[in-house]
Amino acid sequence: MTLAELPVPPLSAAAGRIAVGGLRLANPLLLAPLAGVTIPALRLLYSKLGAGAVHTEMISCAGLLASEKMPRRRKKFGEEGHELVSRGSKADEMLSVLEGEAPVIAQLFAGDANTMVRGAEYALGTQSKIVALGINMACPMPKVLKKGAGSKLLERPEIAFEMVRRLVALGLPVWPKIRKCPPSLPLTTEAFCEGLLEAGAATVTVHGRTPAQRYTGEADVSLLPRLATLFPGRVCASGDVFSSERAAEYLNGGCAAVMLARGAIADPFLFPRTLAFLGYEVHNKYRNPSPDFQRSLLLDFGEDVCAGSGPRIAVLMVKRLLSGMFKGLPGIGELRRAAAHILSWKELRGMLETCEVYFERREEHSGCAS
Ligand SMILES: Cc1cc2nc3c(=O)[nH]c(=O)nc-3n(C[C@H](O)[C@H](O)[C@H](O)COP(=O)(O)O)c2cc1C
């Protein structure tokens, strides 16, 4: 059974749609853009877990423009994941969208407005399922900064605003994502948001850490309600969403939507649990997932990753999610430790298919001890 065939959706069909950043979404919990993580198979998994919309990884506009010149070929993998035939560029692959994904926001990055617009035109010409164009103005990583992109744009507000103005002309909602601006930057976070919104951004997502903080320390959660009050309905929140309570706090503070990032990778069921916490009718299968259900999700996810990115990436991604699955079951520690040594998808899949032996073995042990 593939994910697309799962019989029960997490949300009841009766749930109404809400307006966020020029889109009509099923709910305000969105999967954040995560480089190296939010590949199509993972976005599909979180769509099934209830994400109202999902983001691609940040995609290099320069990379897209380079791939325009490359021949398009389909990717195939050898038994243990060696790529046999390659198709286009990495940037190009990031644009693929799977059947069953929630609305997909393509997040782009570039250091100047011309490259941004040409990259966006290429993206829209290649992938008709994109519903909004994200702009990364938040990434603090040196390889992005040295191109003048990511959070470097916080130092160059005029370029950032021009990017928004010119992307708006392409006809889709534009979703810049920024970080908190420290006093050393030319504009405050408030003034930067105002500039982006005046330039036509449909919403601005703010991660309440400065670029220098990267992912350390705590996100400034008090910043978001202040911005939401200044720009009602136009601000989305990101930062330290590890619990349902934190997501609700952002929404109650007036944010239009909340992005789940590391919290959702550490605990995939944070999505359905938080939806239930917010009052959405969530099917019990997702609120209290059985080990069998969790296993089938992981296996389908692994197969989807394998088909799109190859078995080597499937092993990495499934192991990453495994740490948040089967929580509280006896024997899970042993299963994770055994999985850590596995390098082939075939072997890992086999282990998951029979993982109940770990849980049963543990139960027997605890029975002996008592
Ligand atoms: C591995 C990783 C990759 C990320 N990649 C992106 C990205 O491509 N684009 C972006 O705007 N933010 C990116 N982020 C930032 C997240 O979207 C999010 O804003 C940040 O993790 C704060 O949320 P959290 O504290 O709830 O994790 C990334 C974060 C991590 C940990």
Distance 331 CA to ligand 1 centre (A): 31
pLDDT reading at 79 higher than 90: no
Q: Do 296 and 220 share a domain, yes or no?
A: no
Residue holding tokens 């993982």? 355
Distance 136 CA to ligand 1 centre (A): 10
Q: Do 307 and 264 share a domain, yes or no?
A: no
Check if 220 has its Cβ closer than 6 Å to any atom of ligand 1.
Answer: no
Q: Do 81 and 230 share a domain, yes or no?
A: yes
Check if 238 has its Cβ closer than 6 Å to any atom of ligand 1.
Answer: yes
Which atom of ligand 1 approaches the CA of 177 most closely?
11
Structure tokens at 282: 């969530």
Q: Please report, for the domain that includes residue 111, its CATH number.
A: 3.20.20.70
Burial of residue 194 (number of CB atoms within 10 Å: 0-12, 13-18, 19+) = middle
Structure tokens at 74: 């389909």
Choose one of 233, 253, 287: the last residue of a domain: 287
Q: What is the mean pLDDT of residues 34-50?
A: 98
Q: Return the amino acid letter for 365.
A: H
Q: Do 234 and 338 share a domain, yes or no?
A: no
Full DSSP string of 237-258? EES---SHHHHHHHHHTT-SEE
Which atom of ligand 1 approaches the CA of 219 most closely?
25
- Sign of the four-CA dihedral 184, 188, 194, 197: positive
Q: 245: helix, coil or strand?
A: helix
Q: How far apart are CA 27 and CA 256, in angstroms?
A: 10
Q: Do 274 and 166 share a domain, yes or no?
A: yes
Q: How far apart are CA 362 and CA 332, in angstroms?
A: 9
Contact partners, residue 256, CB within 8 Å, separation at least 6: 19, 20, 21, 28, 203, 228, 233, 234, 235, 236
Check if 58 has its Cβ closer than 6 Å to any atom of ligand 1.
Answer: yes
Q: Into how many domains does the chain fold?
A: 2
The per-residue pLDDT for range 231-270, each reduced to its tens digit, is 999 999 999 999 999 999 999 999 999 999 999 999 999 9
Choose one of 271, 287, 303: the last residue of a domain: 287
Which atom of ligand 1 approaches the CA of 136 most closely?
11
- Alpha carbon nearest to ligand 1 atom 3, residue: 34
Q: Do 298 and 272 share a domain, yes or no?
A: no
Q: Do 295 and 281 share a domain, yes or no?
A: no
- Which of the residue ranges 20-34, 214-228, 293-307, 356-370 would you say has the lowest mean pLDDT? 356-370
Q: Do 33 and 178 share a domain, yes or no?
A: yes
Check if 153 has its Cβ closer than 6 Å to any atom of ligand 1.
Answer: no
Choose one of 267, 287, 307: the last residue of a domain: 287
Q: What is the mean pLDDT of residues 148-172?
A: 98
- Count of positions (residues) in the chain: 370
Which phi and psi angles does 54 have, rounded to 5°? -135, 155
The per-residue pLDDT for range 334-348, each reduced to its tens digit, is 999 999 999 999 999
Q: Do 245 and 298 share a domain, yes or no?
A: no
Structure tokens at 157: 């507000």
Q: Do 239 and 299 share a domain, yes or no?
A: no
pTM of structure: 0.92
Confidence band of 15 (pLDDT split at 50, 70, 90): low
The per-residue pLDDT for range 188-199, each reduced to its tens digit, is 999 999 999 999
The per-residue pLDDT for range 351-368, each reduced to its tens digit, is 999 998 888 765 555 543
What is the residue range of 271's domain? 3-287
Q: Do 98 and 228 share a domain, yes or no?
A: yes
Q: Do 259 and 321 share a domain, yes or no?
A: no
Q: Please report, for the domain that includes residue 312, its CATH number.
A: 1.10.1200
The per-residue pLDDT for range 270-289, each reduced to its tens digit, is 999 999 999 999 999 999 99
Q: 363: helix, coil or strand?
A: helix
- Alpha carbon nearest to ligand 1 atom 29, residue: 34
